[in-house]
Structure 1
Amino acid sequence: MHLHSMTLQAIGPFPGRHHVDFAELGASGLFLLEGPTGAGKSTVIDAVVFALYGKVASEAASEDRLRSAYATPDVESFVDLVLETGSGIYRVRRSPAYERPSKRGGGTTKQQAGVRLWRLQSVPEGAPDDDAPEGDLFSSRLDEAGAELQRIIGLDRQQFVQTVVLPQGEFASFLRANPEDRRGLLQKVFGTEIYERAQAELAEMQRGAKRAVEAADAAVHQGVTMFCRSAQVGPADGETFRDAADADLPGLVAARVAEIEAEVEEHEGAELAANAGLVAARDAHDVERRLAEQLEQRAALRAEKAALDAAVPSVVEHREVLEAARRAEVVAPVRAGVEVADRAHATAQTELATVRTELPEAVAALDPTALEEARREPADAAARLRHLESDGARLPDRERDLRAGRASLADADENADVLRAQNAGRPARRAEHEAAVEESSELAAELSLRQKAVLDADAVLRAARGVEETAAALERAGDTLQVARRAAAAAGEAEDAVRAARIAGIAGELAVDLRADEKCPVCGSVEHPAPAALTADHPGAGQVEEAARVTADAQDHLAEARAEVDRLSERLEGHRAATGGTDRVAAEDRLAEARTAVTEAQHAVTVRDEARAALAEFDEETAALAERLGDVDQYRASLRSRLEAEELALERDRATIATELERAAALLGDGSPVDTVDAPNPVAVLADALDERVTAIDALRAAQAACAAAEEAVATRRTELAEVVASSGFATVDDALAAVLPETERLRVEKVVRDHDAATVRVETALEALAELADDAQADVASTQAALRDAESAYTAISQRLAFVRRRLADARADQDHLVDALGASARTRTEADPVLRMAGLASGSSGDNARAMSLATYVLVRRFEDVVAAANDRLSEMCDGRYELVRSDDKEAVRTRKTGLAMKVVDHWTEASRDPRTLSGGETFQVSLCLALGMADVVTAEAGGVDLGTLFVDEGFGTLDPESLENVLDVLGRLREGGRTIGVVSHVDAMKQSIAERIQVSRLPSGASTLTVRA
């Protein structure tokens, strides 16, 4: 992971907005973050961690420190970070929760925390644009963006601060962690979860393989049981089948199947003989049964034939009636058509008489040709009037609008005169407002200078108070330092005394383990004439280690006390420099004077702003007045032009309408007067009258045509009726109508005739088919039926036995196939399961082939951990001049922890003794921890698919180093640029400032706030 840039605003001690270009700053691979203690150096690292995880770097710190106490309430707090990982370039903007003034009413309200995450196509130049961000917005939800960022980086917050950002108080946590915690971190950093998943998958495959083998064996056992049941194997033979080996089973099964097949062949022969006897008996019975049925059928047919012959005369009479009715059916519809035509002719004549009464007599008497000419003139006149109808209806409204327009024009002229009078005196009044602004501007211009004077005076006062408070604290810290020095000296003396006492009595300690006839470990002799005695107060190895631990703790306390004195001294010096020699009382007087001057200037600002507002308001009123006057003049000109045009158009339309009304009245002056005196629209009245005249003429023409057509239809229908009666064979129409049968009667007569004909044909055909039977023929059905029953009983018995034996054979063959398949599947399952079981045993460490009994995932992590330790030792050797070396240990670090191979020891080559990392002093812990962090970064960077640790921050420990150790650490850090990595170190040590040029410099302002400057 590489950081490109970060923008922060109103965060911690920084009330303003600051932009840090990490890409430019870290071009050389190493940069410094320096400034006074408490000025906000660690806040820069907290901002990075907060942007990524929503929390600060240190577990002990609170997120409440993020909102700047120096920022004004309306300034937003946020951190905007651009980073790059193997999956792409991303931008995250995160803001903490804080209290802000309410937008409505008084008091405050809580501004909720927020986040936005983008994926970018390229790294933006300079600070990202807040208003128009580039890229695709991934998420604006806290939970969703947090999960996505953790996936992008590949580490959670705790792992991040152990490998990338190393904050105060947590720098050495990986060194001091127990093996289980190291396991989780290494697994995340190196992406070795795949081996855990592979191991779990192999274990699942192992369980599956065992289940498959057991299932295959159960299937074979079940197959043997089923075959014994279907083949009816006895108990003794069944035990033989179950005890047989897999290779012998197919032969035993095949022998038993052959026995059943022989039994089936024997029963099939018996069934063939029984079937032949059954067929012969069934044929004889069928012959006698068919003869009896034919004799019975012939007697019934002869009786039915006699009855049909007796009904022949009645059927002939029915045929004649049906024939006459058929010929008369065509006459009735034609007669009905004549009656319909007569009624239509009478209706048409009545309609024609009615239409003529609706027209003047002269028009009603015209023939169709003359009516066409009489219709044309009123139709054309009506069309012209319809075209003018809307104009005629609007004439009163247009005259009324014209009168109202003339009145509006008079009002507009009067309004223009009033506005011109109001605008005449405004220049003199504006000069009065300008004079009021100038009177207050001079004093108001001094406000910023007077406010700065207040800030300066306040900073001097706080610095003067800080001198008094820090001097007292420094005196207390000096006392604490003296106590710590005495305690450290006493602990060192006690440790030296314990070590000397143990060395002095080491002979007695060795003599305790001497045995007769065993070599002495010192001189090699098997005789021990005068072994040294072990005194009662001889110190053991545990006492020496305890004394060393007490000495290390005392040294840590001494270093902390010395660092506190240095910190307070530096703070006191800064406070004194800020006072400029002014004491607290003088500073308080200066602050009071400055605040009074600010109050005067603020009052002048208020007066000036009110005068400016009044002048601006006056100018706005003048501009509005001029705009209104222009609008009124424009309106007057437009209205006058429109009224003149409307008056001309109104006169023209009146003349056109009058001409058309005269023409229409002349056309209607033939006895159909129309009253238009009181009509609101005479044009519409006359147009309606003309339309009514045209409609009446059209109705008369239609009635004349309908009457003529009805007369013609009557004549046609009467001619058709005469022709149909003659062709049907009747003398008159009445004779034909009398021969017509009602529908129900006709259907009944037809059915009688049709049924007699069908029955006659059926009976005669059936009698012809039985003509070969002798008149004295007889049938014996009872004797053949008894013989058939005996043959069926014999065949049924043998068939049932054969079906039973065949079913047993089919079941035995099916179970034989299943058993053979189960044997084959069992062999294949065992062959497939063997490599799975062996591989799973190796991966889990439970196999005899795995000599170290170490799981696959643990083995991979141990190898990676050894790489980290080796890379750390490369730098540790340089930093400590070869004294210390880290080694991996397989020992458990506690009774209840499991053995993971991730324990660690520190070898002191001065004594060649192994030590627990927790016994190192503060400076030694810093060096070892730093080497571990850098070694892990080296190994991770070299790994494909792991987390790319391209940017590291170190935020503690340099003050615990002596000059020589510090120089060694700087040499190691300086060579990191060769690997393309960027290291940011946080320190106020002078040697660091002199050695590192690129830096973020944090400075404290007189107000107590801080600012930062990037020097690259």
Structure 2
Amino acid sequence: MKLHHLRLTGIGPFAGTIDIDLAALGASGMFLLEGPTGSGKSTIVDAIVYALYGHVAGSATSGDRIRSQFAAPTEPSVVDLVFETGSGIYRVRRRPEFQRAKKRGTGTTKEQAKAVLWRIGSPQLIPAVIADTAGGGADVQALATRIDEVGREIQRAVGLTREQFTQTVLLPQNEFARFLRAGTGERQQVLQRVFGTEIYADVEKQLEEMRKTAKRQVDAATGTLGRALARYVEATGVDEEHATALQEAAAALRLEPLATLADEHLEAAAARAQEAHGHAETAAAAEQAARTAADATDAARKRIDRRRELDTLAARLETERPAIDSARTALRRDEAARPVVALLQRRDRASTQAGEAIEQLAQQASTTREEHPELVDLLGPAAHAAAADQQLAAAADEATSAAGALADLVALETALPTRGKELADRREALTASATALETLIQQAAARPAEREQLVADRARERTAAAALGDARLAQRTAEEQRRAATAAVAQKKAVDTAKDRASRTLATAKDFAETEAELRRRRFAGIAAELAVDLADGEACPVCGALEHPDRADQSEDAVSPEQVEEAEQRRKTAESEQAGAEQAHALAAQELTRLQDAAGELTAEAAEQAVTAATQNLRTARDAEAKAAELDATITRHDEESARLDRRREQDALAVERERTALTGLEQTLEADHAKVTEARGEHESLAARRRGHLATARAATGLREALRRRTEAEQRAAELATEAEQALATADLAPETQAGATGEDDLSADGPARTTDEQARAAVLEEDERHRLARLLETRTVEESRLSDGLAEEGIAGTTASDEARERADAARTAATEKLTAARAAAREAADLAARRGAVAERGREARAALATASAQVETVSAEAGVVVRVADLATGRSADGERVQLSTYVLMWRLDAVVQAANARLALFSGSDLELLRDTGRRGARKTGLDLLVMDRRTDQVRVPETLSGGETFFVSLALALGLADIVTGEAGGVRMETLFIDEGFGSLDPETLETVVREIGRLAEHGRTIGIVSHVGDMKAQIAEQIHVRRGADERSHVTITA
């Protein structure tokens, strides 16, 4: 990953916009970010992390420091970063949330944080993108516009989390030594977070849950086995002795003996069931034979009853035969007479209708003669009906044509009064429109003076609103002075507290210095006795060289050991360090108090509050004037629009009045001409409508006579036709009454054939509906009973059956004997079947219970085997196993990762310390428990193993730096080989002596030789002479920071 360009606006102590070309600064491989403490160096580092991840770099740093306290309330803060990874070139812009002034009214409102990410198509576009002249298109593509989307896309592009990034690319202030000196728990959290090994802890939890689940499954399977065995004992009826044996086998989980015992009992039950089933089948066969014999005797008895029933039916049918023959004859005559009678009825109705038509024509002629006698004279005799019809049609057509010719004139005559009324109404409306037009002209003439007054009011408000800018500045200045004055009160207390602490720490440091001096004096006084302790005869004295030591010095009781002197020295150094820190804290607090007092303009908090109140009132007055001026702008615009609308309306109304006058003149002339035309056409008649009604009445009268004439002619023709058809039907009907042969034996026939049927004979042959239906049902019943008789005689065994009383008695005796045998056989079969069912049910329940027992046994066996594996793996992963070192899986993985980090760190530490120091992973005990994640330092100068807390300030720095660089190497390798071409180091180089500082800088420079760009954040003056490219950060008199670049 490579950083190209950073732009900050309103960030931290930087009030304005600063641009940092990181690509140009990194041309030589290394640059220095320098400036006094508190000037804003670390803010630049934080801004880079904030641009990428939305949070600052340091874990202990608040994200609130991103937005500048010098930024105006309405101005946003922006971080803009252009960077490059293996997947492309990107630009990200983030804006933190802030409180801005409301657009309407007073007070503030929250402006939400925003983020946008673009992909840049080629490196050549980077200058244009930085200058905001690249525009859009395919070469500059917006990838995400929401904060969560931007976060996901950057994570995908960079390949590192924020925690990994701050351990590999940006090494924040105060984070180096923290990892070196961290406790086991804190170091474990850092390693777990950086390497993403939370999954192994999750695996431990999952395996522990699986262990508990396996235990529950074994318990559940064992319980299921016990319940299955209880059901088996109950189902098979096992005796108490064998039930006890089964339960003991199940309790001991001896599954094979349990299965053998259960199978033996089940086989015995199955054999008993099979035996009972054989007995039941034999009894069922005997029952079936008895049932067959009983059915045969019952069938013989039923055939005798059936033959007796059929003989009775045949006798009744023979008795009813004469009545049936008479019914058939009556129905035949009815069928033949019905069409003849219907024709006679139509003939009679037609004759009646013809008479009615003649009467109606006479009545129509009598009525018409009063008004139109000429039409009645056209009728003439009946023989000339066709000619009369033609003459009446001609008269009706002539009258209709005359009425049609008058239709338009009648409509014109009818509309004349309405048209006269409408013309008068329009004349009256025209007068009102002319009056309204005059009023509109007067209103338009008064509007210019009204506009001049509005313009004057607007000019007055604009003059008052011109002071708005100054009022805003004054209000903002007053707010800043009030904040500074309020903070100065609290800061004064902090200065006093820091001063007291500096005095106390100075006294403490003096006391520890005097104690150290006294111990050194006493140790020097007893040094001879200390040397004499190790003297031995024959060995040279380290002072005089003598081999004999006759008069050795003795140690006094208050002798001082080297360890006591070293401990006193360490306490003195610690106290001096605390005193120096307290002095620096007091100086910084006093400096901050001076800054706040200057920022407050020497105002007290009360005076500053009054100034804010006055400035706020002035600002409110200016804003009100601005709002009123804007409102008057809108009022003048509306006034002008209304004036234009009135002018347009005046012109339109004047044109409409003139057009209406012209139109009314034309309408009056047309109305007079129509009056003359109607008068001429009316003539002697009352009106044209009355004249037209007369023509229409003549046409209706002619049409009515014509219709009556047509109906009479048609009725006479229909009556004649039906009379002829009726005469022919009667001549061929042959419906004369049938007579029985007389004493002479002759039929009632004339010499010329059958006699002609009369109207009365035909009507007499037709039956009433109820009688006809009764005779038809009688014949249908006869047919059904004859079919029933023939079908019954055709049934099997009926024809040869004798229906005598003796035969019935013999059949009854045989049926009684067969029924008694069947009852006995049925009872025996039921008893055998019940026994077989009971034993079969016992065997079936035994088989079901045995299957359930087998399933439960298999489940116990399977679950026990699986649970054993789970428990063994869980014990290994959670460190409970008796095998191995009892190390948890998550700790083991981190130990493996830490070994790799230590190995990579030692490669750099050998260069920093001249191979004097080497990092070790502590595999023994640090404190009370074994961890495997503690660090030790091997000091090759003394061949002693030291804890990190004993390192000096310089040693701590370069050991921590080596550890951080080693961690960065391993993390980038673990992140899929992510190449980090830019590295920032923000740490205290001031703790190094000049020689070590030169060595460390030289080693860092070697990192740059391999294509990396190294940015060093420091305020150490010696660094400026060693690094050419520099970013200078300085605070101005107004407390705002500024940036200059040397490249």
Whether TM exceeds 0.5 here: the answer is yes
Task: Say what the alpha-carbon RMSD is for the aligned residues.
Answer: 7.1
Question: What amino acid sits opposite 1:557 in the alignment?
Answer: E
The alpha carbon displacement at 1:40 in A equals: 2.9
Counterpart-to-counterpart distance in 2, 1:860 and 1:828: 33
The alpha carbon displacement at 1:701 in A equals: 11
Deviations 1:7-66 (CA, angstroms, capped at 9, x unpaired) = 544344333244555566556664443333333333334545666777766677666655
Aligned partner of residue 15 in structure 1, secondary structure: strand
Counterpart-to-counterpart distance in 2, 1:941 and 1:691: 114
Question: What amino acid sits opposite 2:908 in the alignment?
Answer: R
Q: Is the 8 A contact 2:304 2:803 kept in 1?
A: no
Aligned partner of residue 936 in structure 2, secondary structure: strand
Counterpart-to-counterpart distance in 1, 2:1009 and 2:779: 124
The alpha carbon displacement at 1:104 in A equals: 1.1
Q: Is the 8 A contact 1:1003 1:1010 kept in 2?
A: yes
Deviations 1:205-224 (CA, angstroms, capped at 9, x unpaired) = 55566666777777777777
Counterpart-to-counterpart distance in 1, 2:578 and 2:696: 124
The alpha carbon displacement at 1:940 in A equals: 0.6
Which is higher, the Rg of structure 1 or of structure 2?
Answer: 2
Q: Is the 8 A contact 2:80 2:91 kept in 1?
A: no
Aligned partner of residue 135 in structure 1, secondary structure: strand
Counterpart-to-counterpart distance in 1, 2:996 and 2:357: 137
Counterpart-to-counterpart distance in 1, 2:694 and 2:511: 135
The alpha carbon displacement at 1:193 in A equals: 2.6
The alpha carbon displacement at 1:1002 in A equals: 2.7
Counterpart-to-counterpart distance in 2, 1:362 and 1:1011: 129
Aligned pair partner of 1:939 in 950, 953, 970: 970
Counterpart-to-counterpart distance in 1, 2:837 and 2:950: 93
Match of 1:844 in 2: 878
In terms of mean alpha carbon deviation, does 287-296 or 395-404 score higher? 395-404
Aligned pair partner of 1:673 in 679, 687, 699: 687
The alpha carbon displacement at 1:948 in A equals: 8.3
Is 1:282 aligned to 2:291, yes or no? Answer: yes
Cα distance change, pair 736–476 in 1 and its aligned pair in 2 (3 A): same
Aligned pair partner of 1:1004 in 1018, 1032, 1035: 1035
The alpha carbon displacement at 1:81 in A equals: 5.9
Q: Is the 8 A contact 2:159 2:975 kept in 1?
A: no
Counterpart-to-counterpart distance in 2, 1:240 and 1:130: 92
Deviations 1:628-675 (CA, angstroms, capped at 9, x unpaired) = 99999999999999988888888888888888888788888796836x
The alpha carbon displacement at 1:182 in A equals: 1.9
Mapping of residues 919-958 of structure 1, within 5 Å: 919-944=950-975, 953-958=984-989
Match of 1:38 in 2: 38
Mapping of residues 783-822 of structure 1, within 5 Å: 783-807=817-841
Is 1:112 aligned to 2:140, yes or no? Answer: no
Mapping of residues 540-579 of structure 1, within 5 Å: 550=571, 553-554=574-575, 556-557=577-578, 560=581
Aligned partner of residue 1008 in structure 1, secondary structure: coil
The alpha carbon displacement at 1:768 in A equals: 5.0
Deviations 1:867-899 (CA, angstroms, capped at 9, x unpaired) = 22222223333333333322211345444xx64
Match of 2:946 in 1: 915
Cα distance change, pair 368–20 in 1 and its aligned pair in 2 (3 A): farther
Match of 1:517 in 2: none
Counterpart-to-counterpart distance in 2, 1:28 and 1:138: 36
Aligned partner of residue 113 in structure 2, secondary structure: strand
Counterpart-to-counterpart distance in 2, 1:647 and 1:48: 84
Match of 2:991 in 1: 960
Aligned partner of residue 187 in structure 1, secondary structure: helix
Match of 1:172 in 2: 177
Cα distance change, pair 946–788 in 1 and its aligned pair in 2 (3 A): farther
In terms of mean alpha carbon deviation, does 274-283 or 796-805 score higher? 796-805
The alpha carbon displacement at 1:289 in A equals: 0.9
In terms of mean alpha carbon deviation, does 369-378 or 285-294 score higher? 369-378
Mapping of residues 741-760 of structure 1, within 5 Å: 750-760=776-786
Mapping of residues 372-771 of structure 1, within 5 Å: 550=571, 553-554=574-575, 556-557=577-578, 560=581, 673=687, 750-767=776-793, 769=795, 770-771=798-799
Aligned partner of residue 130 in structure 2, secondary structure: coil
Aligned pair partner of 1:191 in 196, 199, 211: 196
Mapping of residues 123-138 of structure 1, within 5 Å: 125-126=129-130, 135=142
Counterpart-to-counterpart distance in 1, 2:5 and 2:727: 117
In terms of mean alpha carbon deviation, does 225-234 or 692-701 score higher? 692-701
Q: Is the 8 A contact 1:191 1:946 kept in 2?
A: no
Is 1:906 aligned to 2:937, yes or no? Answer: yes
Counterpart-to-counterpart distance in 1, 2:565 and 2:280: 108
Match of 2:801 in 1: 773
Match of 2:886 in 1: 853
Question: What amino acid sits opposite 1:775 in the alignment?
Answer: A
Aligned partner of residue 188 in structure 1, secondary structure: helix
Deviations 1:467-515 (CA, angstroms, capped at 9, x unpaired) = xx9999999999999879867866876898999999999999999xxxx
Aligned length: 931
Counterpart-to-counterpart distance in 1, 2:508 and 2:691: 129
Q: Is the 8 A contact 2:526 2:556 kept in 1?
A: no
Cα distance change, pair 208–742 in 1 and its aligned pair in 2 (3 A): farther
Match of 1:14 in 2: 14
Aligned partner of residue 300 in structure 2, secondary structure: helix
Q: Is the 8 A contact 1:32 1:985 kept in 2?
A: yes
The alpha carbon displacement at 1:116 in A equals: 2.5
Question: What amino acid sits opposite 2:182 in the alignment?
Answer: A
The alpha carbon displacement at 1:782 in A equals: 1.1
Cα distance change, pair 286–650 in 1 and its aligned pair in 2 (3 A): same
Counterpart-to-counterpart distance in 2, 1:276 and 1:367: 110
The alpha carbon displacement at 1:131 in A equals: 13
Counterpart-to-counterpart distance in 2, 1:15 and 1:906: 45
The alpha carbon displacement at 1:860 in A equals: 1.3
Cα distance change, pair 402–494 in 1 and its aligned pair in 2 (3 A): farther
Deviations 1:529-585 (CA, angstroms, capped at 9, x unpaired) = xx999997688999688557535634643664687799899999999xx99xxxx99
In terms of mean alpha carbon deviation, does 930-939 or 117-126 score higher? 117-126
Counterpart-to-counterpart distance in 1, 2:678 and 2:373: 20
Aligned partner of residue 112 in structure 1, secondary structure: strand
In terms of mean alpha carbon deviation, does 238-247 or 384-393 score higher? 384-393
Cα distance change, pair 321–158 in 1 and its aligned pair in 2 (3 A): same
Deviations 1:571-601 (CA, angstroms, capped at 9, x unpaired) = 99999xx99xxxx99x99xxxxxxxxxxxxx
Cα distance change, pair 765–862 in 1 and its aligned pair in 2 (3 A): same
The alpha carbon displacement at 1:788 in A equals: 1.1
TM-score, length-scaled by structure 1: 0.68
Question: What amino acid sits opposite 2:301 in the alignment?
Answer: A
Counterpart-to-counterpart distance in 2, 1:4 and 1:875: 28
Question: What amino acid sits opposite 2:304 in the alignment?
Answer: L
The alpha carbon displacement at 1:909 in A equals: 2.8
Counterpart-to-counterpart distance in 2, 1:888 and 1:404: 110
Q: Tell me, which stretches of 5 or more residues in structure 1 are unaligned? A: 438-442, 512-530, 589-602, 675-685
Q: Tell me, which stretches of 5 or more residues in structure 2 are unaligned? A: 376-391, 536-551, 604-617, 736-756
Counterpart-to-counterpart distance in 1, 2:696 and 2:1023: 115
Match of 1:518 in 2: none
Aligned pair partner of 2:916 in 873, 878, 883: 883
Match of 1:294 in 2: 303
Q: Is the 8 A contact 2:73 2:99 kept in 1?
A: no
Match of 2:104 in 1: 103
Matched residues, percent identical?
Answer: 32
In terms of mean alpha carbon deviation, does 479-488 or 3-12 score higher? 479-488
Cα distance change, pair 57–293 in 1 and its aligned pair in 2 (3 A): same
Match of 1:525 in 2: none
Match of 2:187 in 1: 182
The alpha carbon displacement at 1:385 in A equals: 12
Match of 1:870 in 2: 903
Deviations 1:430-455 (CA, angstroms, capped at 9, x unpaired) = 9xx9xx99xxxxx99xx99x99xx99
Deviations 1:601-650 (CA, angstroms, capped at 9, x unpaired) = xx9xx99xx99x99xx99x99x9999999999999999999988888888
Q: Is the 8 A contact 2:163 2:194 kept in 1?
A: no
